[in-house]
């Protein structure tokens, strides 16, 4: 069975993550607000949006809405996170 791709979009605060989530949901994209893994937290970015699909669409929607401000990560097969371009 193929592992689903997991993506994280870092947010600068819980409020920012919640606003971003609402925008994605309004555009039909399923995501969840989660505590960011410790190794990815920097500059107060303690929260992230977790997505399993529609990553490119989510990035586009957040960029258009002026809410894309954090780094983007993809989980690798070994469970580590790498920055997504």
Phi-psi region of 57 (alpha: psi -120 to 50; beta: other; left: phi over 0): alpha
**Ordered alpha helix ranges (H), 7-84:** 14-26, 55-64
| Domains observed in the chain | 7-83 (3.30.70.1530)
Helix (H/G/I), strand (E/B), else coil: 5:
coil
Give tens-digit pLDDT for 13-67: 999 999 999 999 999 999 999 998 888 876 666 899 999 999 999 999 999 999 9
CB 19 within 8 A of CB 82: no
Nearest CA to 22 out of 83, 53, 14 is that of 14
Q: Read off the pTM.
A: 0.87
């Amino acid at each position: 069975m193929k592992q689903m791709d997991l993506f994280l979009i870092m947010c600068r605060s819980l409020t920012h993550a919640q606003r971003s989530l609402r925008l994605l949901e309004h555009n039909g994209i399923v995501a969840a607000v989660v505590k960011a893994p410790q190794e990815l937290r920097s500059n107060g970015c303690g929260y992230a949006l977790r997505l399993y699909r529609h990553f490119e669409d989510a990035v586009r929607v957040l960029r258009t809405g002026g809410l894309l401000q954090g780094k983007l990560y993809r989980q690798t097969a070994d469970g580590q996170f790498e920055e997504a371009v």
